[in-house]
Structure 1
Amino acid sequence: MPTAFKTLIVDDERLARNELKRLLRAHPQCEIVAEAASAAEALAILAEQQIDLVFLDIQMPEVTGIELANDIPASTRFVFVTAFNSYALDAFSLNAIDYLLKPVAPERLAKTIARLPVADTDESPPTETEQQSNLHVLPEHHGILLKFGDINRIVRLQEIYRFESIGNHAAVYTAYGKSYLHSSLARIEQKLDPAYFFKTSRADIIRLDAIEHIEAGISDGGLVAVLNDGKQIDVSRRQAQQLKQRFGSF
């Protein structure tokens, strides 16, 4: 990474861009090199300049920040900024560093900046294969914006112990309670590291270290995984043998 992150601010409101620029003055590692009032302007800048970091408003006319994020180069990091605290985001198709709520608090911005990788001029840029791999499996510290009642909370993957399929949605179980994602279980599975998560059936994905013990299931060959919270999760016969192998002796 460069010694400073060449930063682009994207927001259709000029006052919002100015406020974020003011707050970023306290963080010299972010060098603001451009700003855009629309997704079209942002894409033009990204095509012409090397941008390392984008602060991206979600609610913009014509093309939203979420839609724009899909066209941001894989090597460019980005942070979502939104004024809507009730906004629900399916973060599994994205890889944002963080999500900031307007008005952005200086201490909250500082925490976001702290998540940026340490600059290293000797670091080689990621290869195409590495970029594709990073897009496929999300790291354990990846944050997802989830809503719990009236509170929006950024929950790390390492804090989630179960995903349950509910139609075209998925229930997400965390220590903070239960929330929901607008995503299918199959899509979620593609983004999870199999070293930490295991699909027990078409209905559930559980975190391996959340399993307290395993019991024989009612169906022939099936199992029941009992989680730390006491919840019993059925393991299909097809998946039962694989789960046994995961906990087998070495």
Structure 2
Amino acid sequence: METVLGKWTAVIADDEPLLREELTLMLQQAWPELSIVAYAKNGREAVKLFEQYQPQLCFLDVHMPGLNGIEAARIIGNRAHLVFVTAFDHYALDAFAQGAHDYLVKPVVFTRLAETVTRLKERLSRSQDLPRIDDLLDLLAKAKDGKSPSKGAPQFLRWIRVNIGQTLRMIAVEDIDFFLADDKYVVITWRDEHGKVAEALIRTPLRELLPQLNPTFFSQVHRSTVVNMSAISHVIRGDNETASIHFKGHDKVAPVSRNYLHLFRQM
């Protein structure tokens, strides 16, 4: 059912303001008739705004603090067309293989969004029944926990979003040298496309990041530090069964506590 203004309506839910703004700008180009009636920064707000505005569409970020996009979708259910915005890799995207629901992969590109808009317009024009979503949400929940819906094997974090000024960057995890907990934030140190060392703050706690990192490459070496073992140049032993890690190509140093010194016994 269309609004009295003759427009389809939507709610956008994402905890990153810049991503909400970028998606809005692209939707304005791809679908000028669509009216964005509200923005939410988490799943709880998304559900509240959905109940208030009753839009025909919801764009939901899968990863949001508190109530995430999957949990919000369970509450909204089949009362709206849902488009999931996700940073999952192709294994997790197996959950969408049947094509009954739409998704966008971060960073969102205009051509992919335009394809989604075309499908949504077709479904809305036919006023077809909304597809069941319970099975999809179960698969997405498994993917979010690091399990491939098709293979059951862990799928580790591949990209991390960071804001640098007004710019959103997607950092490949394999390029990160180490993570350092700093009060309420985590500092990541990585090599940019020119090989230069860069730093940024992210809000995800270290205890939540660690299970998402591939243990083949990343190891915790201190209660506040996780390092990419492939980035290590050498390790210098210190007093009181501690050590310091030195990295290839720069002078940053990471501490090793006695509880993790065994990782470097053979070095």
TM range (shorter): 0.5 to 0.7
Relative contact order, higher structure (CA 8 A, sep 6+): 1
Q: Which residue is 1:79 aligned to? A: 85
1:238 aligns to what SS in structure 2? helix
Structure that is richer in helix per residue: 2
Does structure 2 conserve the Cα–Cα contact (< 8 Å) formed by 1:11 and 1:17? no
Choose which of 169, 172, 188 in structure 2 pairs with 1:153. 169
Q: Does residue 185 in structure 1 map to residue 206 in structure 2?
A: yes
Q: Which blocks of at least 5 consecutive residues in structure 2 are unaligned?
A: 1-8, 13-22, 39-45, 52-56, 75-81, 88-103, 115-137, 193-197
Does structure 2 conserve the Cα–Cα contact (< 8 Å) formed by 1:79 and 1:98? yes
Q: Which residue is 1:195 aligned to? A: 216
Once residues 198 and 180 of structure 1 are traced to their aligned partners in structure 2, the CA distance between those partners, rounded to angstroms, is: 20
1:154 aligns to what SS in structure 2? strand
Show structure 1 runs of 4+ deviating over 6 A. 13-16, 41-44, 125-131
Larger Rg: 2
* Matched residues, number: 176
Q: Which residue is 1:134 aligned to? A: 147
Does structure 2 conserve the Cα–Cα contact (< 8 Å) formed by 1:56 and 1:79? yes
The 3 A distance-change label for structure 1 pair 10 and 174 is farther
Does structure 2 conserve the Cα–Cα contact (< 8 Å) formed by 1:161 and 1:206? yes
Choose which of 163, 180, 185 in structure 2 pairs with 1:164. 180
1:41 CA drift (Å): 10
Q: CA offsets per residue over residues 140-171 of structure 1, 9 Å max, x none? A: 5x222212233211112112111111111111
Q: CA RMSD in A?
A: 4.6
Q: Which residue is 1:225 aligned to? A: 245
State the AA in 2 paired with 1:56.
Answer: F
TM-score by length of 2: 0.50
1:42 CA drift (Å): 11
Q: Which blocks of at least 5 consecutive residues in structure 1 are unaligned?
A: 1-8, 23-35, 45-53, 59-63, 82-95, 111-124
State the AA in 2 paired with 1:239.
Answer: Y
1:99 aligns to what SS in structure 2? coil
1:235 CA drift (Å): 0.8
State the AA in 2 paired with 1:69.
Answer: G
Once residues 256 and 139 of structure 2 are traced to their aligned partners in structure 1, the CA distance between those partners, rounded to angstroms, is: 38
State the AA in 2 paired with 1:139.
Answer: F
Once residues 143 and 166 of structure 2 are traced to their aligned partners in structure 1, the CA distance between those partners, rounded to angstroms, is: 38
Q: Does residue 215 in structure 1 map to residue 228 in structure 2?
A: no
Sequence identity percentage: 15
1:220 aligns to what SS in structure 2? coil
